[in-house]
A and B are shown apart, each in its own frame.
Chain A
Amino acid sequence: MSLSRRTFFKAMGATAVALSVGKELKAGPEPEGEATEFNGMLYDMAMCRGCHGCEYDCAYAHELPEPDIPKEPPFRKTDETRNTVVNKYETSKGKVFVKTQCMHCNQPACDAACLTQAMHKTEEGPVIWREDKCMGCRYCMISCPFDIPKFEYKSTNPRIIKCDMCFTLQQQGEIPACAYNCPSGALMFGKRRELIAEARKRINDNPEKYVDHIYGEHEAGGTSWLYLSPVPFEELGFNTHIQTSSYPGLTKGFISSIAPVDILLPALLLGVYEATKTRTQTEEEE
């Protein structure tokens, strides 16, 4: 049991390099989402009439099964067959419809969680899932604060199903299917910065129509999907206690401590080993 200084440093160097490549969180988008030109979507719940048309358009655009929505639909969630659902809430101001889909966070937890970069925040704003990379660990589902990624449990080659803000359509210069066909104009596609300005304007012009809050402006560090509401967001089942800093920030401390530990702990251990070596061992080695 012997270890020369040289082998030690060689091994230490190799491990340190192997384990500390790019440990820092990707600088990625700026914490202030306004600084980067992400695309986004403004959803005005005061305008949505609950026609469910976006659900059909979404299913068609993503080759998902056609939704079968009854006349008085019960409360539904997104799942492995649908990227988006619209639910009705009875509120203090009457019926309000809420569309649920991926929020496309500025700094997504799923992107930081993914160990194969299958979940990916594109520079244009949409968070997409890439089939050729995913190994199906479902860590994105654990990490997402909005519980958005869904998994095809019944499949032998399962996919993650979630809204991708019609990324392929966007690349062809078109706008997402749901916004394209929205008859009430509740969905508005554009640059996130401009959408926030537009939302502010709507609130200022009609202060009695909206609550003074844009859900998604700061939630989870800012999201590409922005919500305007006629009633307090608590009434509509939104998570209003969600933190305003980004979720990947929660693991930053741990991740940045890895490289120092990988380098310092071996040195410390070797020091303790040398210090506690008995005389007989030292003699044997010499």
Chain B
Amino acid sequence: MNKLVQPLYLDNQENKTWKFILNELKPKGKIFSPFNIISFPVIVTGLIIMYIRFTQGIGSVTNLSQDIPWGLWIGFDVVTGVAFAGGAYVLVFMVNILNLKQYKPILRVTVLNGFLAYLFYSGALLLDLGRPLKIVNVIIGNNFGVSSVLFLVGWHFLLYMLALLLEFSPAIAEWLNAKKLRKVLSGLTMGAVIFGITLSVLHQSGIGALYLMAKDKIHPLWYSEYLPLLFVVSSIFAGISLVIMEGSISQRVFAHQLDKDSHKTHDNILVGLAKICAAGMFAYLALLVIVFVHGKDWQYLSSPMGSWYLLEVIGFVLIPMGLFYYSYRRRKVGLIKMASIITLLGIMLNRMNISIICFKWDAAERYVPSWQEFVVTLTIIFIEIWVFRWIVRRMPVLRKSPEWVRGDH
């Protein structure tokens, strides 16, 4: 008899878990919220476009051409999106390596954001591949193109996704009430942290390195051999700016999940982050000046492209840098949020300049993304937000971990 008791007990436990998960799958918030009403039709349209893309070819829904082989799906979803997701490695570095505990409240939500961002951007990448099934060639190792920057980016991307998932996994274990699992998973965190940061530094710079061979195609004001370095430095403040903006939205939307004093803590966090942004942007600006002087690009400044370049550097780097500096000295949280929005626009501008706008800037035919490309991009962002919201409402991401965890530390 005794022998039978054990499995039965396990079965029960398992049943409970399944019931719990099934129950959790049901929607929790209002169904007809303004966000849902806007995003749902976009997602449906986007899915239809994706279907057409797979049945009639990439050319049927995009404006890509023989001259412009990478458009919005790479330029925005991947190149810009990865910079925006940089907050995860910066924050993980600050909290887990530098031991800056005051940033811990926003760590989990940032890691979750980073993970989802990577998951969905690689999804976007699959849409853009002409022969997506052949991606196994890169993974299973029969055809390693090891001298390819893209190969390295791809692998660092993939491994980093795993690292992020590991870093976030204790939250999943807490949600499932799996105490032992949580212990195992949090034991792995430090390894994931160290390699996650390393992988990030390399793939953030790798995205810049992708364009190194396009030397004659990118306008000389944007092309330099320092592209990898510029990309990794700018990913620091791009990522943090997204953390600032996303955090401010989450504070409102998920207000009921947070305790009273978290609002004040959050303001302190924002001021600290603003300081890091200002410093990062200063370093970036210094690098830009060195690259500019080094490249002897003076003659281009008087051309229209030169004005466009100055707009990017002054309007979207220098000015937000000043705003960040001013607002952290004066503790103006509203201004910090504004500076972060300008910074995000600036990063978007920079990445789009390199990948699309100043790519073959002198070509007769210009690439303008089709409406389908925009809708699919929006679809990916909306689905990501849906998944994010689903997780935040269930797992201890913004709210505190359950009682049993705290003693465990």
The chain A residues found within 8 Å of chain B, CB to CB, are 1-3, 7-8, 11, 15, 18-19, 21-26, 77, 79-80, 109, 112-118, 132-139, 141-143, 145, 147, 150-158, 239, 241-243, 247-248, 250-251, 253-255, 258, 261-262, 265-266, 269-270, 272-273, 276-278, 281, 284
Contacts and interface: CB of A to CB of B under 8 A. Distances in A.
A11 B191 contact: yes
B57 A23 contact: no
A143 B132 CA distance: 20
B232 to A, nearest CB: 10
Contact of A269 (B97, B133, B135, B156): B97
B99 A154 contact: no
B148 A151 contact: no
A205 to B, nearest CB: 34
Interface majority SS on B: helix, strand, loop or mixed? helix
23 contacts: A1-B187, A2-B190, A18-B155, A18-B159, A113-B150, A117-B144, A133-B134, A133-B143, A135-B129, A135-B131, A136-B129, A138-B130, A145-B213, A147-B66, A154-B56, A156-B54, A158-B130, A247-B215, A248-B147, A250-B225, A261-B198, A273-B97, A273-B194
A230 B352 CA distance: 42
Contacts of A243: 215
Interface in B133-159: 133-135, 137-138, 143-152, 154-156, 159
B197 interface: yes
Nearest to A272: B97
B209 interface: yes
B216 A145 contact: yes
Given A115-B150, A156-B56, A258-B152, 7 more contacts: A1-B186, A24-B147, A135-B134, A139-B148, A251-B209, A254-B205, A276-B97
Given A79-B66, A272-B97, A265 B214 contact: no
A109 B197 contact: no
A201 B64 CA distance: 45
Nearest to B58: A153
A142 B69 contact: yes
Contact of B156 (A19, A23, A265): A19
Given A1-B96, A154-B59, A116 B210 contact: no
B206 interface: yes
Contacts of B205: 254
Interface string B110-133: 000000000000000000111111
Q: Enumerate the 6 nearest inter-chain pairs by beta-carbon distance, A residue then B residue, closest first.
A: A136-B130, A153-B59, A115-B151, A135-B134, A138-B69, A141-B69
B292 interface: no
A248 B215 CA distance: 11
B289 to A, nearest CB: 21
A1 B190 contact: yes
Contacts of B210: 139, 142
Contacts of B96: 1, 273
A178 to B, nearest CB: 21
A276 B148 contact: no
A133 B137 contact: yes
Contacts of A141: 66, 69
A26 B56 CA distance: 37
Interface in B339-367: none
Contacts of A270: 194
Contact of B134 (A79, A134, A239, A258): A134
Contacts of B70: 138, 142
A153 B348 CA distance: 27
Nearest to A131: B131
A92 B150 CA distance: 44
B67 interface: yes
Contacts of B103: none
Contacts of B67: 147
Given A135-B137, A258-B202, A21 B409 contact: no
B98 interface: yes
B60 interface: yes
* Of A19, A112, A139, most B-chain CB atoms within 10 Å: A139
A272 B187 CA distance: 19
* Of A136, A150, A254, A258, most B-chain CB atoms within 10 Å: A254
Contacts of B202: 258, 261-262
B224 to A, nearest CB: 11
Nearest to A246: B213
A276 B213 CA distance: 41
Nearest to A271: B97
B386 interface: no
B46 interface: no
* Of A115, A152, A247, A253, most B-chain CB atoms within 10 Å: A115
Contact of A248 (B99, B155, B194, B213): B213
Contacts of B133: 135
A100 to B, nearest CB: 13
A152 B215 contact: no
A204 to B, nearest CB: 32
A240 B50 CA distance: 42
Contacts of A155: 57, 130
Nearest to A80: B66
A115 B135 CA distance: 10
B212 interface: yes
B189 interface: yes
Contacts of B193: 269
* Of B57, B148, B212, most A-chain CB atoms within 10 Å: B148
* Of B56, B96, B149, B210, most A-chain CB atoms within 10 Å: B149
Contacts of A272: 97-98
